[in-house]
Amino acid sequence: MRAFRISEKDLDSECRELRVEGELDLAVADQFEKRLEAASKEDVDVLVRLDQCEFIDSTGIAAIVWAHKLMAAKGRRLLLSSPSGQVSRVLAVTGLSDNGLVSDRAGAAPGQVEAPG
């Protein structure tokens, strides 16, 4: 099991990437929310890379839904990219995979993915 970690990088002037490693659960969901909130204040789209996220629970899902609403209210996009096996299954079960929020393309900026119709 990998320790939880979030790394950040700017993909361009309009998009910030947050890469989640390890387990996104109750113990660390507040850290994840703080990073998402900080990015939302910078008026950029946010790409959350989940290829190194090994597990996500309901608090991680709640943080994603909260951030999605926060970003949408500011006219920005949140996109989840390349979720690992367990994470992909949870996103599918919760319906988040069906609304254009999830992309299998690693590194795809929100502007590069078709918005849900």
pTM: 0.85
pLDDT given at position 14: 92
Say if 47 falls within a structural domain.
yes
Q: How far is CA 28 from CA 22, 32, 57, 110, in A?
A: 10, 7, 11, 25
User: What digits encode the pLDDT tens for the residues 31-89?
Assistant: 999 999 999 898 899 999 999 999 999 999 999 999 999 999 999 999 999 998 999 99
Say if 114 falls within a structural domain.
no
The total number of residues written for the chain in this structure: 117
Is the pLDDT at 103 greater than 90? The verdict is no
Is the pLDDT at 17 greater than 70? The verdict is yes
Say if 58 falls within a structural domain.
yes
Is the pLDDT at 117 greater than 80? The verdict is no
Domain membership of residue 96 as a residue range: 5-108
C-alpha 101/C-alpha 13 separation (Å) is 21
C-alpha 32/C-alpha 36 separation (Å) is 6
Is the pLDDT at 106 greater than 60? The verdict is no
- Band (111; pLDDT cuts 50, 70, 90): low
Say if 78 falls within a structural domain.
yes
